[in-house]
Each structure stands twice: as structure tokens, then as C-alpha cells.
Structure 1
Amino acid sequence: MFVKNLRPYAATLAVVIAAAAILWLMGRPPTYKHGLIELWGPVGPKQSQMLFDWYTASHIVHGFLFYGLLHLVGRPKKIEDRLLLATIVEAAWELVENSPVIINRYREATIALGYRGDSILNSVSDIACMILGFLLARRLPVWASVMIVLVLELVPLAIIRDNLTLNVWMLVHPSDGIRAWQAGA
């Protein structure tokens, strides 16, 4: 299938590149500073530094959620324009998430006591995973999208006691009970 208008896709790519450049200017490290680049950053100092980590699932969920929301409120717009808008929102979140204010908020309000923010590699991967979730949501039936979102929320919850839902909850309204449960207390 040939794409007639590449402008929205070029603009989407430009947003990702601009986000990486801004993160660089913010002083974010390009990659993990103590070793080789790995595909997976497990819980610990490599988390949020490698290509993927347990929070990759939440960025895929972002894509499903953005697709659903923009399908409801932005339906007259072309899919390419909705993807661009979703990418702008995700890139903006990556910039905010890696600001000192949010990094400190994660340290204060969540179990991420040693959180230092994301590497640029991880942030760009997070944006790409949102795009993947968005494109999957476009192709899959609603029931399959709902099932994938449930799995992507429940698996990290069971394994690392965290997911997108708890992450947002703890940032907005921290709970000592949830923090204790997440810490295994």
C-alpha cells in the first residue's frame, strides 16, 4: 500500500526527533552510563535506561488509550493527524516526566526511591511504543484492544507491583497503603 501524503508521518518523526533533542538539552543521558546498551532494563539502576523496561507496557497502553480517545473526539480528522497529535502528547509527557519536578515527585510519592529519570534511548523507545499501541488499536477489534490493555496492566502489577494505573494514582494522590503494598510490607 502506497502512502499518498507523507507529511503527517514526517511531522510525527520530527516530533520524536525534537523530543530527543530537547531531552539532550535538558541534560538527560543518551544511554545508560555504566555499560553496554541492553534491550531490557530490569528493576534497579538500569530501569528506564535501556530500550525497554517494565514501564514499556504503560506506554503501549497510552497508545491504545490515545487511539480510543481520539477516535471518539477527533474522528473527523485523518488517522495520520490523530497519530501526530498522540505523538505530540506522548513526547510532551516524556519531557515533563524527565523534569526535576516529576523526577522528585516519583521519588517522594512512589516506590521509585532511586529514580533518576529516563535515558534518551528509553524515552524515544517509550514514544515508539505508544505509536505501536496506537497502530495496534487501529487494527484490532475493541475486545482485543481491551484484553491487551488488561494484560499490559495486570502482568506488571503482579510482577513488580506497579502499572500505569498505580503510577498515575501515586503521582496525583499518593497513598501510604499502596506504597507499603508496593514495597512488599
Structure 2
Amino acid sequence: MTPHPLRVHLEQIAPLTDGEFDYILGHFMPRAFRRHQFVVQEGMAVPGDFFVVKGCLRAYHTASDGKESILQFATENWWVTDYDAYYRERPATISIDCIEPCELLCLSLLNREKLCAELRGVEHFFRKKSNAGYVALQQRILSLLTTNAAERYEQFAAQYPHLLQRLPKTMIAAYLGVSRETLSRL
């Protein structure tokens, strides 16, 4: 029998017994979303942190002029939410929608805090994931500040080759901070 993708993901950092994993999984709510369906919408409450079992999503902000800036893509075994809204329990400032049909596991803040308080391995897992997220965010900001469009595209292609075929070019351009025309020239 194939192990659950969440278990495989958690055990990359924290080994678990069968009982521990069953207990952890019981704190997640499975959710299915259609293509183009919102998981989080700007201005609304954020129900949880989402682990991607299947599918592809984008997290983005829409400026007052309608321009979209994509902050993150999330595919299998990635986590996505509006972390500011999630942790501070306030309305979302970004939107997250499905590029493909998605199967997600939703972890509420209350259940996350409960699991972290009860299971040292879970707390350790989320600390390590948070640290890795901070590093990735810092690298992304530095890339936007210090590299040109061609260099950003090369970094994206090297880091996420699996996304090049899954994403429309307009979304890759919005993630890189360039126009669709500039991306086409690259």
C-alpha cells in the first residue's frame, strides 16, 4: 500500500508512528477544488494552511489598477495560504486559486497549535518548514532586486522545471515581474 503523501512529507523531517500519523491526519480537513476556484479570496477569512495533495495553485495580489503579482505557486507536497491573515486571524490580503483541479488538506490554526503543543515532532516539522520558507522568500526578494528578467527566468526554469509545462506563460511572467511580451522574447 502506498503511504499517504502527507505522511511521506512529514517524515522527511519527523519520523512518526502509525498512531501518531492517524492522529495528525484527523486534524486536517480534506478539500477538493475545481480549476479556477478560490481557496482563499482577498478580504475574506482564511480557513487554514493548505497542504497540496494534487494539483497546482497560485497565490497572488491584485493591485488597484488590476495588475496581478504572483507571489507563489504551489504544487504537490507544498503548503500555501495567506500566512499574515492565517496567523493574525484577519482578512486575507492575497487570493489563492486553483490553476488545475486540486485535492488539498486544510489545517486550521487551532488544530496546528494543538498538534504542535502535543507532538514535539510536529512542532519540529513546522519550525523547519518555516525556516525553509523564510530562506526561499529572502532568495526570491533578492532575485527580484538584483537580477534582470532573463536571469530570473533562468533561475525559475532551473528551480522549477516541472512548472514550465504546467503554467500559462502569462502566469510565469506575472511571477517574474515581467510582461508576457518580455517573457516571449526570453
TM-score by length of 2: 0.30
Higher strand share: 2
Q: With a CA cutoff of 8 Å and minimum separation of 6, indicate the structure with the bigger relative contact order.
A: 1
Higher helix share: 1
